[in-house]
Structure 1
Amino acid sequence: MVRDRSVKGKGSYETSYYICTDHLSLELASKATRKHWHIENQQHWALDVIFKEDEQRIYAGDSALNMACCRRFVQNLFRKSEGNLSVPRKMNQAAWNKDYREKVLFTSD
């Protein structure tokens, strides 16, 4: 599959190869690939943007895995917390407001 994209007016192309046990039509294979990347992007966008996961430089032992688990745990706490604020705004509010932070940490649904 050839993927193309344009960033700041510059185009780039990338060829990707996928292994599948089924014989799929081009249309169905294309839909399956888009669905896969949509899910991947949706799951990791917040971790990359809000928690700057890609910029982390933790290498010792299982530290990287442990921190990734902590980030996902915190992300889920804020997602499940009440209110219409975005996760970054909830994080900011928790940083400045002890009562709100305790509410997020100790209130379960």
Structure 2
Amino acid sequence: MAGAGRRRGGANSRCPACGGPTHHHRANHSVPFNTVVDLTPLTPAEQAAVREPNRLIYCLTQRPHGPPQLRLLNPWHPPDCPHGGIHVTDHRCPPTTLF
């Protein structure tokens, strides 16, 4: 009996708290930890503004026959991305007021 195929790689979804578009990344060889990133592309100026010691910037690329791949940006990554991907960062829900 054949079961449903198990989906491998990341999955695009929405944050349950704020509803923002996110990508869930499972640990692999390119990023060795689980993370959730915003799907909003960042310009080089926006990357500099949101970069913090514990907030990383990633390159999200779409492979032709596989799930999206997340790569950590390093100091040698050019601003005009040669991978054809978008640069994204860890998801943080925007501040809200309760009332």
Shared fold (TM-score, shorter chain, > 0.5): no
Name whichever structure is richer in strand by fraction: 2
The structure number with the bigger radius of gyration is 1
Q: Which of 1 and 2 has higher RCO (CA within 8 Å, sep 6+)?
A: 2
Normalised-by-shorter TM-score class: under 0.3
TM-score by length of 1: 0.21
Name whichever structure is richer in helix by fraction: 1
